Structure 1
Amino acid sequence: MHAFCESPQILSTIEAVAADRRMARVHVKAVSGGIQAATEFFSEAPTPNLVLLEANQDYEELVQDLDRLAEVCDVGTKVILIGHINDIQMYRDLTRRGVSEYIVAPVGQIELIQALSDLFTSPANDPLGKSIAFIGAKGGVGSSTMAHNIGWSISTRQQQDVIISDFDVAFGTSGLDFNEDPPQTIADAIKAADRLDDQFLERLLTKCSERLSLLTAPAVLENTCDYDGEFFTHLMELLQNSAPYTVMDLPHIWSGWNKGLLLGADEIVITAVPDLANLRNVKNMLDLINQERHGDRPPRLIINQTGMQKRPEIKPKDFAAALDRDDFIEIPFDAATFGLAANNGQMISELSSGSKVAELFDNLAKDVTGRSEAPKVSKSLFAPLLGKLKKSK
């Protein structure tokens, strides 16, 4: 996309759009100057997929300038025009002349990203799956347990296809938590990065249930975790094309690829325990995320293991207040239930389906997916027919 802006406000908006995570695959160039500057530039250079123009002139002059630009535009180039006149007839005339979209200034970052998305969305393509990143404020706070239980809830309670991907290559616990020991793991994908495609990925996935698949970690120390970020970008594209929901179990390390996965996720869940080091780390994470992810929903905060006997802790409300937040999920310390589930390779809802913690997991699963109601599942093949018979009576 090449943008030609006549005002500092629009130029600033374009720069913010270019830095947005949703535009990571788009090459954006923004310069000062309007339609005449664009015409002069493209008379000696090929036009890109999209040209964005800001126009301040009156309608007659605008049409003349657009006609001159059309003479140097390549076939297939889309044009978005940001104007300062709010007139429906003008909009219709411009679209008839080949302008793809006309937006009335001022325009915000999210509004412009939505317009770009709508312009290049193809109804024939399957929608991209949603990615949900789970990360701990420190190691050992229970982030993986949260990721696995909530991923299980999405697949079981909401009947949605889910892939849980364990990115903690050296110390991941997804295989243990689901009582699976697959022969192939995410390490095999990393080793074969040059030939990783959807078919190869399918062979690496472990089927836990009809709707839940795992990409486990080998939990071996043969190699360090100094990986190429481009590989994980490609892997996430394949995962999101394979299932409606990808749960990312991120390790507590601060590498370039892990940071990229975190900031690129559609939803983020941070797990912490109520002590001072966790509070500091959560604040640092939130500051970074808020700075880098304009227009996204703020991360969910889970305060885990509260009420542990003989351990000094910050009260959950005070913990959240120190972060200028009033929304959080509190999970009380329950060594017996969580320990038994981990040792059995079970989820909390399998072990204690009616418990308060199982309900918390189900509610958070609804929240991160945006699905308030879980679909009803027939218990027998004859249930639909019996339902009709009851109605007829």
Structure 2
Amino acid sequence: MMPASSATGDKAPPKEAATSASATGSLIIPQIAIAVFTETEELARTAEAAASDRRLQRTRLTVHGGGLPAAIELYGKGPTPNLIIVETTAENAALFAGLNALADVCLTSTKVIVIGHRNDITLYRELIEQGIHEYVVAPLDVMSLIATIGRLYKSAGAQKLGKVCAFFGARGGVGSSTVAHNTAWSLASSFDSDVLLIDMDLPFGTAGLDFNIEAAQGVMEAISDADRLDDVLLERIMTQRGERLSILTPPLALTNAYDLRETDFNGLIDIARSSARLTILDLPHMWTAWVKRLLTDADDVVITAAPDLANMRNVKGVIEFLRSTRPHDSPPKLVLNQIGIPKRPEIKAPAFATAVALEPSLSIPFDPALFGNAANDGRMIGETSARSPVARSFDELAHSLISGKAVSRPARKGINALAARLVGRR
């Protein structure tokens, strides 16, 4: 396996470049034990931060000081973990002697990553010949360390995993489901992407109504027998809406209480990642352990809010929660919906953005006729009014989720563009 530094020819391997959260967002690292042995405080802090990251939540990662000698001493007395990461500043002779001693106490199934401080292609080649699985050059940031571990456990030729995006409303009735459903439709129809929409409002979800579909099976069948769930069963219980969009509808039965465990959706999400390029989670406005878990574990989060004080307070709280649980991820995308309701006092978008410390990605105007007609017909905005500004807004949000880039702002046209150019020349 090539190292993270990707050395070629006679050039020394470059230092590990900083890795963005979007580049590692879809990594799934298995349930393994990882031990990191450091020589510097910098790597120790990086490893401790990585241990709390959502991408390593299934692992058991421990951090030890003392570098390679400490690893040899510890595992001379007990079994080795699945992965050992050792930092070293030793010269070649001492390094190879230490690695040989470590090999004597390691299980054959244990993988070893060496983090060095020398950009040396000859050293890299010798380490690979000795059976070291990966050699990277310090310093590493948190995302680079996680990506290095992830690449080590990615099967050769494995299918690229899709992304998961969670949509959440700051309050009930702000239109989060409408935004989620229209964005899913836009992804499937305008960007030719395989999309899975999961309506997780189990008693009151609206996916069936919004898309005018009836499904005998859906979300509950997917999670009620998690041990049997695979891509074949998932395809059987999904409802198709067009060629690219698949939908899992909620049961809507009020005879049951939906008291779910935090991990009940884990199997479904894992299968969904391998089945669709992008999975849209339409989350209900509630604050339970499983909702918090899905928000934390998603690759992207979209918060929909109306421009009033209660929404602003709630958005600020959700953003603070996400920053604490997802410190190495990009901030959520904020959609301000129902802008311009007659006679309703509103907080202007700039003031809202200042208060929550996040710029809105979209501001969607209040248009009861457009949204009402679409809902009554069981169609999306792009189907009823494809050229409307609202439809273009959903396309922009969809593109940002696919590309990982910010929502683009439409260029000004006509006299406004001319005025802007003239002002810019002054």
Task: State the TM-score, normalized to the length of structure 2.
Answer: 0.84
CA deviation after TM superposition for structure 1 residue 242, in Å: 1.5
Q: Which residue identity does 1:335 align to in structure 2?
A: P
1:341 equivalent among 339, 360, 374: 374
Name the counterpart of 1:52. Answer: 85
1:85 correspondence with 2:118: yes
CA deviation after TM superposition for structure 1 residue 322, in Å: 1.5
CA deviation after TM superposition for structure 1 residue 351, in Å: 0.5
Name the counterpart of 1:271. Answer: 304
8 Å CA contact 1:155, 1:212 repeated in 2 = yes
Structure 2 distance, partners of 1:197, 1:74, is 32
SS of residue matched to 1:230: coil
Residues 84-163 of structure 1 mapped to structure 2, 5 A cutoff: 84-163=117-196
Name the counterpart of 1:11. Answer: 44
Q: Which runs of 5+ in 2 are unaligned?
A: 1-33, 406-426
Per-residue CA shift, 1:127-180, capped at 9, x if unaligned?
Answer: 111111110011110000000000001111111111100011011100000001
Structure 2 distance, partners of 1:79, 1:85, is 18
CA deviation after TM superposition for structure 1 residue 255, in Å: 0.7
1:72 equivalent among 105, 113, 118: 105
1:213 equivalent among 242, 246, 251: 246
Name the counterpart of 1:303. Answer: 336
Structure 1 distance, partners of 2:117, 2:77, is 29
8 Å CA contact 1:320, 1:328 repeated in 2 = no
Q: Which runs of 5+ in 1 are unaligned?
A: 373-393
SS of residue matched to 2:105: coil
Residues 25-64 of structure 1 mapped to structure 2, 5 A cutoff: 25-64=58-97
CA deviation after TM superposition for structure 1 residue 18, in Å: 1.3
Per-residue CA shift, 1:233-264, capped at 9, x if unaligned?
Answer: 11101111211111110111111111111111
Per-residue CA shift, 1:270-304, capped at 9, x if unaligned?
Answer: 10000111111111111111222233221111000
8 Å CA contact 1:164, 1:215 repeated in 2 = yes
CA deviation after TM superposition for structure 1 residue 194, in Å: 4.2
Question: Please, what is the CA RMSD of the aligned residues?
Answer: 1.6
Q: Which residue identity does 2:65 align to in structure 1?
A: S
Q: Which residue identity does 2:94 align to in structure 1?
A: E
Name the counterpart of 1:201. Answer: 234
8 Å CA contact 2:334, 2:358 repeated in 1 = no
Structure 1 distance, partners of 2:49, 2:274, is 27
Structure 2 distance, partners of 1:94, 1:188, is 49
SS of residue matched to 2:37: strand
Count of residue correspondences? 372
8 Å CA contact 1:134, 1:269 repeated in 2 = yes
Residues 221-370 of structure 1 mapped to structure 2, 5 A cutoff: 221-370=254-403
CA distance 1:5–1:371, change in 2 (3 Å): closer
SS of residue matched to 1:364: helix
Structure 2 distance, partners of 1:186, 1:321, is 38
Structure 1 distance, partners of 2:286, 2:141, is 34
Q: Which residue identity does 1:85 align to in structure 2?
A: R
CA deviation after TM superposition for structure 1 residue 7, in Å: 2.8
Q: Which residue identity does 1:186 align to in structure 2?
A: V
Structure 2 distance, partners of 1:119, 1:187, is 35
Name the counterpart of 1:379. Answer: none
Q: Which residue identity does 1:10 align to in structure 2?
A: L
CA deviation after TM superposition for structure 1 residue 327, in Å: 4.4
Q: Which residue identity does 2:188 align to in structure 1?
A: S
SS of residue matched to 2:205: coil
SS of residue matched to 1:328: strand
Per-residue CA shift, 1:98-125, capped at 9, x if unaligned?
Answer: 2222222222101111111222222322
Structure 1 distance, partners of 2:347, 2:372, is 24
2:221 equivalent among 182, 188, 209: 188
Task: State the TM-score, normalized to the length of structure 1.
Answer: 0.90
- Deviating more after overlay: 197-206 vs 343-352: 197-206
Per-residue CA shift, 1:335-385, capped at 9, x if unaligned?
Answer: 11101111111000111011000001111101111189xxxxxxxxxxxxx
